[in-house]
Structures are given as structure tokens and as C-alpha cells.
């Protein structure tokens, strides 16, 4: 679709308040001011570990769904980074909160974790690589937007905030580059596989995945109530 606006921007605009409810969720605001209960964050960390395992599976599915070497390499790079780097960073970060990998791996998946991860995998299985990339976008790009906004907000507490490292991780150059790459990847897929007729269904997928992201935040808050 030559000359079209970036796909991510169109999907985000169409999501409207659903996107706002995700990126400005009370869980996120509590990270910013440091008021999030530790029990909520610990539960979130455990479930996020389980989530990342399924996220790695989604990259494997992306390689299977690919029909160009470029797309296979993109999926392989994502899978390698997920398993070899991001999971290791996540485990190390969780260890600082008194959580070891065996404990996290043995945890029971929360309903919100199952709902979101299985939805992403289902969209990839039922659809094509573009459907899967769109389903993954709220997580990949949304975390980058949240990190960037929190880091830039003068109201975000820096000194004595136990969640500063989390904010800095997603605001950092490395993760911001991951998000930009995914946005560009979606545009390449849309140019090859997309059409105006596909856009309504892609908007539904994006909005639903965004709703499930917000539910993932809520799951963390509910654990402390």
C-alpha cells in the first residue's frame, strides 16, 4: 500500500480509548510514583516470565509462517533475543526481587496470562504473518511507549522508586530499537500482504490484544487486593 500511513499508527488511532486504558492503566501509574504494592509487582513478574515463554513460541510460529528469508531471519533474531537475552535479563531482574527461575517456571498460569498468550498464538495459527505481527504489537510497541512516557514525565519518581529499573529497561535505547523494528516489520508485511479490505480485521485483532494487555496489568493489581 504505497504512500499509506504507518500501520501501527492507524491501528493505535482506531483503538482509541482501549489503547489509553492500557498505556495509562493504574498499574502503570503506580509504577511511575512507586506506590505499586510489592505483591502486585511480584505476581506480575512471575506471570510475565510465563508470558515470555509463549512469546518465544510465537516467534517460532512466525518463522514457520514466513515465506521469505528476510522474514525468517527477523523471526529467528526475535526468538534468539527472547531466549538468549530477554529471558536471562528477566530472570536476573526477578532474582533481585527474591524470585528464582524454578519458582517462576512452577507457577500456575493466571487466567489473564492464558487468555492473552493463547489469543496471540491463535491469531498466528488462524491467520498469516501479518495477523501475528499485529497481535504482538501492543506488547512489543506498547511497552516501549510506556517506558518512554514514564521516563520523560517529570512527575515520575526517581529517587527511592523500586520500579526505576523496570522503567529504564523499556525506555532504554535497546528496547526502543526493538519496538521501531517491529513497526517497520509490520509496514513491510502490510505492503506485501495487506490491502484496504484487511484493515478492519487487523484493527479488531489489535484492539483485542490491547484489551488483553490491560487485563494483564489488572491481574497484577488484583493479586494485591
Residues classed as catalytic: 139, 213
Q: Which helix (H) or strand (E) holds 84?
A: none
d(CA 126, CA 159): 47
d(CA 109, CA 115): 10
As given in the structure block, the three cell numbers for residue 155 are 512527575
Of 23, 88, 97, the closest CA to residue 49 belongs to 88
Strand segments, DSSP code E, in the chain are none
Half-sphere CA count of 13, side-chain side, radius 13 A: 8
d(CA 30, CA 64): 39
d(CA 71, CA 75): 6
User: 3-state DSSP call for residue 173?
Assistant: helix
Half-sphere CA count of 42, side-chain side, radius 13 A: 13
Amino acid at each position: 500500500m504505497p504512500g499509506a500511513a504507518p500501520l501501527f499508527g492507524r491501528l493505535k488511532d482506531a483503538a482509541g480509548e482501549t489503547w489509553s486504558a492500557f498505556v495509562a492503566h493504574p498499574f502503570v501509574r503506580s509504577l511511575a510514583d512507586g506506590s505499586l504494592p510489592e505483591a502486585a509487582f511480584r505476581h506480575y513478574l512471575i506471570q510475565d516470565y510465563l508470558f515470555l515463554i509463549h512469546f518465544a513460541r510465537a516467534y517460532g510460529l512466525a518463522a514457520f509462517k514466513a515465506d521469505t528469508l528476510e522474514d525468517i531471519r527477523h523471526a529467528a533474531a526475535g526468538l534468539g533475543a527472547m531466549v538468549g537475552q530477554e529471558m536471562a535479563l528477566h530472570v536476573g531482574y526477578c532474582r533481585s526481587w527474591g524470585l528464582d527461575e524454578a519458582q517462576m517456571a512452577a507457577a500456575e498460569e493466571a487466567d489473564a496470562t492464558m487468555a492473552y498468550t493463547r489469543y496471540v498464538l491463535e491469531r498466528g495459527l488462524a491467520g498469516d504473518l501479518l495477523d501475528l505481527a499485529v497481535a504482538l504489537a501492543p506488547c512489543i510497541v506498547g511497552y516501549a511507549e510506556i517506558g518512554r512516557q514514564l521516563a520523560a514525565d517529570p512527575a515520575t519518581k526517581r529517587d527511592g522508586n523500586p520500579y526505576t529499573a523496570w522503567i529504564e529497561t523499556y525506555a532504554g535505547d535497546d528496547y526502543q530499537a526493538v519496538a521501531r523494528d517491529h513497526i517497520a516489520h509490520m509496514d513491510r508485511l502490510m505492503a506485501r500482504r495487506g490491502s484496504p479490505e484487511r484493515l478492519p480485521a487487523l484493527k479488531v485483532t489489535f484492539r483485542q490484544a490491547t484489551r488483553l494487555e490491560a487485563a494483564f496489568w489488572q491481574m497484577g493489581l488484583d493479586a494485591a487486593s
